[in-house]
Amino acid sequence: MRAVIQRVSKSSVNIDGKVVADIGLGLNILLGVGPDDNEEKARQLAYKAAHLRIFSDSEGKMNLSVIDVQGQAIVVSQFTLYANTQKGHRPSFVGAAGPEIASPLCDRFVEFLRKEGVPCQTGVFGEHMQVEISNDGPVTILLEI
């Protein structure tokens, strides 16, 4: 399971011109699921994301989590995180889990993140989305479990 986590001042997801998710301060999480991923990996990754200290404290040091700053998260399923570009110029996505595995694990990840105390909104699995990200810093972290 892979996640690209961005600290944001605001983020939103649009589908066909309609806003389906919109947050201010918090995290934009692009989530990729591999074929060997499971519920335990989703739980571990959600815990890590919720407690990742990437927000600044009063001294300007990255010492606070999204929970500490009372932020929110947008989680967007992103199978392209498993792209293989070793051969040629067209990425292969055979390393990504199929929707029968990925969709429920994305949902479980969101549930686990909420249980940690992070209010979450989501994109729509399998839909073409426009994701707007105001990356604050910029701060971008790659997590893999």
Catalytic center residues:
78-80
What is the DSSP code string of the chain?
-EEEEEEEEEEEEEETTEEEEEESSEEEEEEE--TT--HHHHHHHHHHHHH---EE-TTS-EEE-TTTTT-EEEEEE-GGGG-B-SSSSS-B-TTSPPHHHHHHHHHHHHHHHHHTT--EEE--TTS--EEEEEEEEEEEEEEE-
